[in-house]
Structure 1
């Protein structure tokens, strides 16, 4: 988008229930600044409800400060992120940030040593490879190791694309940890040509493991 429009693209995050965007990136792009005039955010352990310290990932909980008709108090978003305290390199010294949300709590799954993975983890790695249109991960467990098989829709040189996709996946810390500890099978990547007919977006992660501790 930046190349097409010739401008900097910034992310924002919000909830329908809150009525508007609650955070937005600055030009530094190391997190999203919180609209602290209208909202308060906490990060909690999703299982215990315990408030977590800055830098530790958990579930975002929002409180509206300016709503009059239907204020929300400690509204659980199910989104996973972390709180980043000020200052920021952009110059803000009082406004805190959240990290870019990693995904929905109920969209998480575990691999290897118990690392939580979200579709956004692979979105950011695989979709950056030029020519990739879509992908799907199928998780199985034929032995004590988890087996990850990626099917990638790709437009271009298939062998080159496969090398780039495999490199992007295996460079992820969560994947590298599982491989180094012999808890993951070698990553399998299958490339397929982009269909000329309309096909719906593939579900990003399908977990077919029979015994799985969520």
Structure 2
């Protein structure tokens, strides 16, 4: 079942793209609807694998690239279908607003996706991405759920998801929190201590 799901999430966007191109060239709504369904199925499988979260270790560069392309296909097909349904309608302004809303949501999702991918990919080898649920919000984050990593230069970085789903904040900590150091291998702890002593 896992292999079938992985094949679907990798190949459905490609098939959807082919159907999208054919639909645009032939101006055929049925191709666009088929592309919409395929991309929607692939996206739901992606979300299932990621635990319904954009942030975390699942969306690396590879998965972010597939999900982003899938999201763009879904957006284009949705706009095309909505435009087709609204032709000659008195509610054109409402449909235009819906289209604009979909574009903004898609762009925010892609920005969040790639910020997360960049965050998890560029870390020191052998170190984990640590997700922490804090009792009190830290000064540098508006959320209680924060992601931490050891950067390539041994510094500690954080990613703070935005509560409203907007762009997350990313920053560097001057001092490593104790709960982060406790989860790191001894060799990494020594590197971080050495770096702070040099400063």
Q: Same fold (TM over 0.5)?
A: no
Q: Counting strand residues as a fraction of each chain, which structure ranks higher?
A: 1
What TM-score comes out, normalization by structure 2 length?
0.32
What TM-score comes out, normalization by structure 1 length?
0.30
